Amino acid sequence: MIYFASYGIIGIKELTVRIYSFLAGIILLVFFNAGCASTINDAKLNINIDNIQATELLPLKNGSNDITLYRLGSSIMEDSGFINKNGENYGYYVIRTNNRKNDGKNRLIFGWINGLTLFAPSLIGFPTESSEFVMTAFLYIFDSSGTLIKIYQNTNRFTQTTGLYYGQDPNKKASLYYSRLFTEILEHINNQKDQINYLLEESGPITNENMRLAQENITQYFSTRRN
């Protein structure tokens, strides 16, 4: 009786330990996921171009076939008042973005401290994760036949520290950084407007006859590139 009673007690203890370990693992997993930053979502970006000088560039048409990037392109190039929308279009512009998320410098430190304390400090605001976001803005200019004549690229990065109650959404901060990146690109375009206009005038304006070929050429160009 004693043997079997002892065995039964030991079995219950082991089961209890396993249950508590399982529950602790679930709690840690929930805490860890709750304190992680999401990735940058282009659909959630709100890019604002302020105080940009209107360009003397010949009118361009939005050439993106992606709804989200078309919206961003219109906001950057047209809603900002940068390009002239009156008259014939002499080419196309396409906006692209590239986002990459890396582990931040302090990620291991935060994880080590939270792991030892079962995430107790995170309940009062201690960080749970640190992530670095690398963003690259692209702006392409094509002539009326869909031939690429200019490509602009600008890169920046920022660190996002997250906790249980803050920092999970990086899109607001990313919007500010992308606004700066594209503003700098538009300034470069203004400095090269004479050269760009010369190339656009050489191919002539967009017509019903060359529009389909141009769209095919632009699609073909991006099919061989990631951006």
**109-151 pLDDT, tens digit each:** 656 565 666 566 666 656 667 788 999 999 999 999 999 999 9
How far apart CA 210 and CA 213 sit, in angstroms, is 5
Residues facing 104 on adjacent strands: none
Q: What's the chain's average pLDDT?
A: 81
Q: What is the pTM of this model?
A: 0.76
Cβ atoms of residues 94 and 74 within 8 Å: no
pLDDT the model gives residue 32: 47
Per-domain boundaries in the chain: 35-223
Whether 218 has a pLDDT exceeding 70, the answer reads yes
Measured CA distances, 227 to 10, 120, 136 (Å)? 62, 43, 10
Q: Which of 60, 62, 64, 63 is nearest to 88 (CA)?
A: 60
How far apart CA 72 and CA 48 sit, in angstroms, is 10
Query: What's the pLDDT band for 63 if we cut at 50, 70, 90?
Result: very high
pLDDT the model gives residue 71: 96
Cβ atoms of residues 143 and 202 within 8 Å: yes
Radius of gyration of the chain (CA): 27
The percent of residues above 70 in pLDDT, for the chain, comes to 69
How far apart CA 218 and CA 94 sit, in angstroms, is 9
Query: What's the pLDDT band for 7 if we cut at 50, 70, 90?
Result: very low
Measured CA distances, 184 to 21, 68, 153, 155, 180 (Å)? 53, 21, 10, 11, 6
Query: What average pLDDT does the segment 4-31 reach?
Result: 52
Whether 208 has a pLDDT exceeding 70, the answer reads yes
pLDDT the model gives residue 113: 61
